[in-house]
A = this chain, B = another copy of it.
Amino acid sequence: MPRAVTLKDIARETGVHVSTVSRALDPRARDSLTVEVVKKVNETAQRLGYRPNRLAAGLRTKRTRTVGLIIPDITNPLFPPIVRGVESILEPLGYVSIIVNTDGRQDRERSQMQVLLEHGVDGVVHAAMERDASHYTDLQDRNVPIVTVNRRLDVDGLPSVVNDDAEGIHEMFRLLYEAGHRRIAHIAGPPTISTGVERLAAFREAAKAFGVSVPDAYIVESEKFLFEEGHRCAAKLMALADPPTAILAANDGLALGAIQLLRDRGLGCPEDVSVTGFNNSDVLSLVPPGLTTVGVDKTGIGKASATLLISRIDNPEDPETPHLVQPIEVVIRGSIAPPPRAGRQDPL
């Protein structure tokens, strides 16, 4: 069990002092040294297989090259690409990420932040879905930079990166409108989730923008962003005396559930009812009829948030708190068609 090589070992080997070794290995301090010394030190470091002890360095410098990544649940397909995006920026810079899952629970969020603090993270990327403004006080007290990704906070002062949800909803609405639909319903996300309320608000905006009136009954709130909920909510919609000819769902899962409900009722998508989703989940191309949806750049928001975080870490005094909005992409598949004739005969 050969002990790890330390500066001291290199010092002994080369005959110079430890602090000289430290300087020779530090690109920023290197030039105050003889080229020969630098060369010899680096060579022996190489030869002995020296690896800096980040703990010791961190203890001294208060910089650990570690960042915390707080996410609700890595199992939710939304987050792995974000994580990958973050790492694609951080890793080349020599940072490692400590990932913690919170399941969206405030108590866990709090305690996990403490854990990150204990490990001396240089910064934190917080990916979340809940709407509540979490208590970042501990981090801010300790002056640890934090960036939120994937949701805009109610209360603010922190940099954030989000997708352009409003634009995505607007474009889905436009597609339905231009196909001829006027009876357009919305299966909304849970009111506790940030994207749930954002997309609902955007839906209302879009309806107004296109001059389409939406009866209250055309807006159904789901309890979770899941297939089953889409199914349940679509059932409520299709049970109306005046059912919609199109359903704009707040995400893909809800949309797929809605399509299933239609099928159960003997209705076809898109012939009888058009449906749209949000997120462009990987599997969509496989499941008929192919959901028209909003593609979001998950890796992109991850990258952007990491870039933002690094700039905060490197310039702690910079007072800016940018709010980045990542553009979305319209993904057209087969789930939209003009409304059926019966639909057209109804008075607008």
Residues of A within 8 A of B (CB): 1-2, 4, 51-56, 58-59, 64, 66, 73-75, 77, 80-81, 83-84, 87, 91, 96-101, 114-120, 141-143, 227, 256, 283, 286-288
Q: Whole-angstrom distance between the alpha carbons of A87 and B116 in the complex?
A: 15
- Give 16 A-B contacts (CB < 8 Å), ordered by A residue: A1-B143, A2-B141, A55-B55, A74-B74, A75-B80, A77-B77, A80-B80, A83-B99, A87-B100, A87-B101, A96-B100, A97-B99, A99-B99, A227-B286, A287-B287, A288-B288
Q: Which residue of B lies closest to A116 (CB)?
A: B96
A73: which B residues are within 8 A, CB to CB?
84
A51: which B residues are within 8 A, CB to CB?
114, 117-118
Q: Whole-angstrom distance between the alpha carbons of A59 and B119 in the complex?
A: 12
A142 and B58 contact, CB distance less than 8 A = no
Give min CB distance, A3 to chain B, whole Å.
9
Q: Whole-angstrom distance between the alpha carbons of A288 and B116 in the complex?
A: 45
Q: Whole-angstrom distance between the alpha carbons of A74 and B76 in the complex?
A: 11
B80 and A84 contact, CB distance less than 8 A = no
A59: which B residues are within 8 A, CB to CB?
53, 55-56, 59
Q: Which residue of B lies closest to A281 (CB)?
A: B283
Q: Whole-angstrom distance between the alpha carbons of A51 and B121 in the complex?
A: 14
